[in-house]
Amino acid sequence: MESKLVLYNTLTRRKEVFEPLTPGRVGMYVCGPTVYGDPHLGHARPAVTFDLMFRYLKSCGYKVRYVRNITDVGHLEHDADEGEDKIAKKARLEQLEPMEVAHYYTERYHRAMDALNVETPSIEPYASGHIIEQIEFVKKILADGFAYESNGSVYFDVEKYNAKYNYGRLSGRNLDDIIANTRELDGQGDKRHSYDFALWKKASPEHIMRWPSPWGEGFPGWHMECSAMSTRYLGERFDIHGGGMDLMFPHHECEIAQSTAALGHDSARYWVHNNMITINGQKMGKSLGNFITLEELFTGSHKLLAQAYSPMTIRFFVLQAQYRSTLDFSNEALQAAEKGLDRLMKGVESLGKVKPAETSTVDPAELENRCRAAMDDDLNSPMAISALFDWVRIINQLVDGQQSITAADLEELKATVYRYTFDILGLRDEKAAGAASGRDYVTPLVEMLLDERLKARAAKDWAASDRIRDGLAAAIGDRRPGRAARSRYPCQRPQGRQRLGTGISGKREDPDPGRNCRRRARTVGAGAPAGVPLWRDGLVQYAGRVPAPVPEVPVCRNQGIVG
């Protein structure tokens, strides 16, 4: 298959024409999240970036195997070889099992990705599910002499590896410089040198997550999982390895060293890194404590946010910048993305109003050529969006009769616009999708707002509580003073409530609303959409004074059942 796609290869520091190892097939591995907290805006960028790559490769006709891992063991604090496992620490603080923490935050991550319209990868392996493969990989490295055992742990011998290969090729670091800038301290542990890194760590007595190995009970080093799982599912050689720029060193550098030591050659041909999302010029991340979770963005509940932003606004915000450029957070930038997305969706909607004519004064092929050229140039999504915006103006001219287009050209134009807007950029018309499916997009967002307000009040953060209240009142209309809050409406009980908190997606409603109902109903917001049910801790609320028509069922009155 002839390809014109050009990708920037971090390993060679230049743009290269993408040529897969196997014609027509692509193997792609991307580092996924360490699941010990809620997904934040920083997680959105690599997720959207490599979702864009996944979508575009498929649109070009490739059969893609996309592997994105879940790190649920071995990632120690500060990305180091010493300290507490991030997930184990969270489990200790919350008095839970580590796998309970990992499962809960993995589910939260998946819901956030669904909201962002990120497609699920072909395979999503867990580090804890591939301990055997990681142990076997460590054995290979030991057998080839590039690692050493020390007091039940196994460390990679960077100096010995560098004598044969080149440690630092990806990040551009020189081992001599690393040594010069590293202090060798007495009692530094079991390593021969401070720049050596762990392949397998001996578990201390208090360490919960541990597995038997030839070297004693322990757990794999953080870098080992990616070498083992990428080889397991993509083979010893594959096409693309992706991740955030912050992973380039030490994680990806160590991964290259491990794989080369074990296999005798490089594994990935193209190393692709997205740049970071910054806040006030500093990387946004959990370890720095300056992050904004995706749920907070969707609800507007963070103190830095002027309002709530929809999932598609966040996706559009990410796509407006080329993935290798820095993207700085600000309310102004998000609001501009919101307006831009609305303009694009209105343009797409206006396509349905265009009347075909006998002749065309426009050429739809021009849009296809521009978008294709932009995407082939290292996934330059902002240039593709710019081309779509130019054609939104042309679409408006077609609607107004200033331009004309034949029926055949109109179908071609629609196909091109839909393909790039929805299939490749992965955007979604949230208003149209909600109306067409009958799905309520308002309720889950209001639920999350109310939940965040309860948390703020419990923490005595009155400013945040008032800000959420005022935002909710502005969005759905405030209740007039003096009006009764109690009303008689059919109760609807959602199913599948989560024990550890509300999810990002909405909850299902009971198909039998009157069954076993012993709860009171009240209304919030006289100006709200009619009949929108809000579940909040055993209380069924309705946004709006007059509910939507419902079937004849028993209703609540003074906590009693009436027919």
pLDDT at 526 over 50: no
**With contact defined as beta carbons under 8 Å apart, do 499 and 520 qualify?**
no
Here the tokens at position 357 are 């004519």
For residue 460, the model assigns a pLDDT of 86
Give the other-Cβ count within 10 Å of 226's Cβ. 29
Q: How would residue 265 be classed by pLDDT, with cut points 50, 70 and 90?
A: very high
Q: Going along 439-531, which residue ranges are E strands?
A: 494-495, 508-509, 521-524
Higher per-residue pLDDT: 476 or 349? 349
Segment of 78-87, 402-411, 501-510 carrying the highest mean pLDDT:
402-411
Closest CA to 297 of 49, 70, 42, 48: 42
What is the tens place of the pLDDT at every residue in 197-226?
999 999 988 888 899 999 999 999 989 999
H or E, element range at 8: strand 6-9
Strands (DSSP E) found in 140-276: 147-150, 153-156, 197-202, 218-220, 238-244, 268-274
Question: Could you give the CA distance from residue 222 to residue 369 in angstroms, rounded to a whole number?
Answer: 43
The whole-angstrom separation of Cα 426 and Cα 319 is 10
pTM for the complete prediction?
0.77
Cβ neighbours for 268, distance < 8 A, ≥ 6 positions apart: 29, 230, 238, 239, 240, 241
Angle between helices 442-458 and 462-476 (to 10 degrees): 160
Instruction: Say what the pLDDT of residue 223 is.
Output: 94
CA 417 to chain CA centroid, Å, is 25
Q: What is the pLDDT of residue 525?
A: 36
The answer, yes or no, to whether residue 291 has pLDDT greater than 60, is: yes
> What are the DSSP E strand ranges found in 78-196?
147-150, 153-156
Residues 353-380 have pLDDT tens digits of: 999 999 999 999 999 999 999 999 999 9
Selected residue with higher pLDDT from 179 and 38: 38
Of 36-40, 210-214, 400-404, 542-546, the poorest mean pLDDT is in: 542-546
Question: pLDDT higher for 512 or 563?
Answer: 512
- The per-residue pLDDT for 443 is 66
For residue 531, pLDDT beyond 60 = no
Crossing angle between the packed helical segments 41-59 and 311-319, to the nearest 10 degrees: 70
Q: Output the pLDDT for position 290.
A: 81
In this predicted model, what pLDDT tens digit does every residue of 145-168 receive, in sequence order? 999 999 999 999 999 999 999 999
Instruction: Express as a percent the part of the chain with pLDDT over 90.
Output: 63
DSSP string for 485-498: -B-------EE---
Over residues 271-287, mean pLDDT:
84
Continuous segment of H or E residues that includes residue 9: strand 6-9
pLDDT band of residue 74 (cuts 50, 70, 90) is low
